[in-house]
């Protein structure tokens, strides 16, 4: 409903349409800034991902069977997680695993 009122005011050439548009743009920009800072804060404080013993086991398996054709199911089994959960945690880790 506010959008249709804004459009009608703008089409009529009234000054309030521009004032409303400016206020709306300011409110949206402020909201995006707050959302962006909240996401960055969450990324800094959250340590999700594969770590500790499961990560060590996966690394050891990859290093010990470097020439083998390891698949995600095998590595997930080594970590103790399901394949889907292993993939999510591995990606969330943002950690490069150097092998071979």
Summary mean pLDDT of the chain: 75
Q: Is the pTM of the predicted complex or chain greater than 0.75?
A: no
Would you call 44 helix, strand, or coil by DSSP? helix
Residue 100 lies in a domain: no
The pLDDT of residue 91 is above 60: yes
- pLDDT tens for residues 16-51? 777 777 787 778 788 878 777 766 655 554 456 777
H/E stretch holding 40: helix 15-45
26 and 11 in a common domain: yes
Residues 10 and 37 reside in one and the same domain: yes
**Are 41 and 56 members of one domain?**
no
Which structure tokens are listed for 86?
């292993």
Q: What is the DSSP letter of 65?
A: T
Reply yes or no on whether the pLDDT at 7 is more than 60.
Answer: yes
Domain count within the chain:
2
Domain extent for 76: 52-93
């Amino acid at each position: 409903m506010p959008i249709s009122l804004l459009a009608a005011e703008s089409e009529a050439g009234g000054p309030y349409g521009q004032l409303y548009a400016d206020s709306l743009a300011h409110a949206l920009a402020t909201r995006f800034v707050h959302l962006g800072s909240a996401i960055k804060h969450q990324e800094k404080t959250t340590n999700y991902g594969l770590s500790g013993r499961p990560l060590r086991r996966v690394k050891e398996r990859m290093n010990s069977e470097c020439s083998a054709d390891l698949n995600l199911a095998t590595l997930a089994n080594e970590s103790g997680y399901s394949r889907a959960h292993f993939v999510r945690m591995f990606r969330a880790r943002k950690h490069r695993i150097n092998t071979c």
